[in-house]
Amino acid sequence: MKFFIDTANLAQIKEAQDLGILDGVTTNPSLMAKEGIKGEKNILKHYVDICKAVTGDVSAEVIATDYAGIVKEGERLAKLHKQIVVKVPMIKDGIKAIKYFSEKGIRTNCTLVFSAGQALLAAKAGATYVSPFVGRLDDVSTDGLQLIEDIRIIYDNFGYETQILAASVRHPMHIIECATIGADVVTCPLNVILALLKHPLTDIGLAQFLADAKK
C-alpha cells in the first residue's frame, strides 16, 4: 500500500520523505490556505517546490468547476512538473474533464467522493486515482471504511485500474483497516503516519534491552 502525506507543509513533507516511506503528496485548497500560500504565481511555485522535495505523485487541485475551466487549469498544472496529478472534483463537468485528461495521458485524482456510485463513474471516466473521504463519512455517522470495501469489490469485479486513494484518514486504525481491505493508497497528515510507530511494549522492551546492555 502506498503512503501519501496530506499536507502542503514543506517541512512535514520533507520529514516524511526523509523517513523513506513516502510515495506521494496530496494537497487541496484548504491545505494550501493553511500554509498561507496565496495568489496563482505562489501556488504554482509551491507545487513545484513540493515536487522537488519528493519522488512520487503530487496531487494539485483545480479551482474551476466548469468543463472548459477545469481543462485549462488542469493542463496548466500538468505542465508544471511530471509528478503532478490533476485533482478534479466529483461533479458532472469534472467527470467530463477526467475523461478528456485520460485520453490526453494526463493523470487525475477524482476528489470529494462519498459514494460507490461516484467511484464507479470516476473509474469509467479513466481517473488514475479516486479519493473517497473516510473520516468525513465517519463524521456524519456513516461507515467510511465500508465505502472503501465496496469500491474495492466493484473495481475488482470489472478490473478497473483506478487506484483507491483513501483520503480524510484521521488515525492509525483507518490506515490498518485500509491495508486490510486493500486500498491502493492512504493519504493522511504526518502525525497519523508517525502514530503507527508507537507501542508502549516497544518502549518498555527497548528500555529493558538498553538497561541490560549496560550490565
- Quote the least distance from Cβ 180 to ligand G3P, whole Å: 20
- Of these, 14, 136, 152, 171, which contacts ligand G3P (CB under 6 A)? 136
Q: How many residues of this chain interact with ligand G3P, rule: CB under 6 A?
A: 10
- Quote the least distance from Cβ 7 to ligand G3P, whole Å: 8
- Of these, 125, 186, 187, 192, which contacts ligand G3P (CB under 6 A)? 187
Q: Dmax over Cα atoms in the chain, in whole Å?
A: 72
**Distance, CA of 57 to CA of 126 (rounded, Å):** 17
Stretch that binds ligand G3P, among 40-48, 99-107, 146-154, 163-171 (CB under 6 A): 163-171
Per the annotation, the verdict on 87 as an active-site residue is yes
- Residue 46 contacts ligand G3P per CB under 6 A: no
DSSP string, 143-207: -HHHHHHHHHHHHHHHT---EEEEBS--SHHHHHHHHHHT-SEEEE-HHHHHHTT--HHHHHHHH
**86 - beta bridge partners?**
60, 108
- Of these, 5, 12, 22, 26, which contacts ligand G3P (CB under 6 A)? 26
**Distance, CA of 25 to CA of 4 (rounded, Å):** 5
Catalytic residue set: 87
For ligand G3P, the binding residues (CB under 6 A) are: 6, 26, 28, 133, 135-136, 167-168, 170, 187
